[in-house]
């Protein structure tokens, strides 16, 4: 039983964010929480958590062990539920990473429906636009657009969108409407960039022709909603995903330019690392995102 308690304590520390809050959640003293964690680490022969007086951080071994510990506890919960003669459905925490604007515009509004369908699933959603790279470490699933999956895992197709170039009608009336990508050098442009990818590149595809360029920027942002807001405000021309500016295009607040380019769809993908794809809670969230969320896909 101490072995299971050690797993419960370890997961509770991570989920609660501190030893003290984990102790409250488990109705234990902070000393007992620390003791159970120390016994677990001694048994494993490795440190799972670096702790100081003010904070803690998972070690690389802790990151890997966390997912296995969650899976064991979820399997135990499921077995107990089945033994009681019922099945309350999948349970547990699912860590999902998504580009910021996609997470806010598509995932967050769908959470009430997910909760109604699977009330025992808790979603930990990361919406920081660190980069568009696939980074499965620490996540059960990742939403990405137009980037091939790396590593071993399952790719679930959610739909398709396309890149579009947009600006406010007021800006275009003042500065003119570009006719070719080269005309963008005479315009104010708003680019997407992150610390990891500080040089924003725009891609253009037409009838098999592919071009890449970096227009002169007047502002860069690491969030799709910021690019849309800047374009609506008349800051300049932005390139973004059609799914992120569909309401602004429909209302006339934004206008497409260079419409002969980037008509080809790009995939919206959900990537499930191999070691997590079979967890019931992960599978339930993946099926929900695939079947019950309208991604505004391109035709």
Q: Where are the domains of the chain?
A: 2-83, 92-161+267-292, 163-257
- What is the fold of 2-83? Arc Repressor Mutant, subunit A (1.10.10)
* Residue 138 pLDDT class (50, 70, 90 cuts): low
pLDDT surpasses 50 at 13: yes
Number of H helices and E strands in the chain, helices first, is 10, 14
CATH number of 163-257: 3.40.190.290
Q: What is the pLDDT of residue 180?
A: 95
Q: Residue 130: how many CB atoms within 10 A of its CB?
A: 15
Q: Measure CA of the first residue to CA of the last residue in the chain; give whole Å.
A: 55
What is the distance between the alpha carbons of residues 179 and 185, in angstroms, rounded to a whole number? 12
Q: 15-26 pLDDT, tens per residue?
A: 777 888 888 888
> CATH code for 92-161+267-292?
3.40.190.10
Convert the pLDDT of each residue in 192-235 to its tens digit.
887 666 667 899 999 989 999 989 899 999 899 999 999 999 99
Q: Is the separation of the CB atoms in 269 and 155 below 8 Å?
A: yes
Largest CA distance in the chain: 72
- Residue 132 is predicted with a pLDDT of 47
- Verdict on whether the full-model pTM lies above 0.85: no
The tokens of 47 are what? 């440190």
Q: Do domains 2-83 and 92-161+267-292 have the same CATH topology?
A: no
The residues near 19 (Cβ < 8 Å, ≥ 6 apart) are: 13, 30, 33, 34, 51, 56
């Amino acid at each position: 039983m101490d072995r299971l308690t050690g797993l419960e304590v370890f997961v509770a520390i991570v989920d609660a964010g501190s030893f003290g809050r984990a102790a409250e959640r488990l109705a234990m003293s902070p000393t007992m929480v620390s003791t159970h964690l120390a016994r677990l680490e001694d048994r494993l022969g490795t440190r799972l958590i670096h702790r100081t007086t003010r904070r803690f951080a998972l070690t690389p071994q802790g990151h890997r062990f966390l997912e296995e510990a969650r899976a064991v506890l979820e399997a135990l919960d499921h077995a107990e539920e089945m033994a009681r003669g019922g099945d309350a459905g999948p349970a547990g925490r699912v860590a999902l990473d998504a580009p910021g604007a996609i997470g806010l515009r598509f995932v967050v509004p769908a959470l009430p429906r997910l909760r109604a369908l699977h009330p025992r699933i808790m979603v930990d959603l990361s919406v920081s636009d660190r980069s568009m790279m696939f980074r499965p470490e620490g996540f059960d699933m990742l939403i990405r657009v137009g980037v091939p999956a790396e590593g071993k895992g399952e790719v679930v197709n959610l739909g398709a969108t396309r890149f579009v170039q947009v600006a406010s009608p007021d800006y275009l009336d003042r500065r003119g409407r570009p006719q070719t990508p080269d005309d963008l050098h005479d315009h104010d442009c708003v680019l997407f960039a992150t610390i990891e990818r500080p040089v924003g590149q725009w891609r253009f595809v037409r009838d098999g022709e592919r071009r890449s360029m970096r227009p002169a920027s007047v502002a860069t942002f690491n969030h799709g909603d910021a690019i849309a807001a800047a374009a609506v405000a008349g800051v300049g021309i932005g390139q973004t995903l059609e799914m992120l500016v569909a309401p602004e295009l429909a209302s006339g607040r934004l206008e497409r330019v260079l419409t002969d380019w980037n008509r080809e769809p790009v995939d919206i993908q959900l990537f499930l690392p191999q070691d997590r794809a079979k967890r019931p809670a992960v599978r339930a969230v993946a099926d929900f995102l695939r079947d019950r969320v309208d991604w505004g896909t391109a035709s």
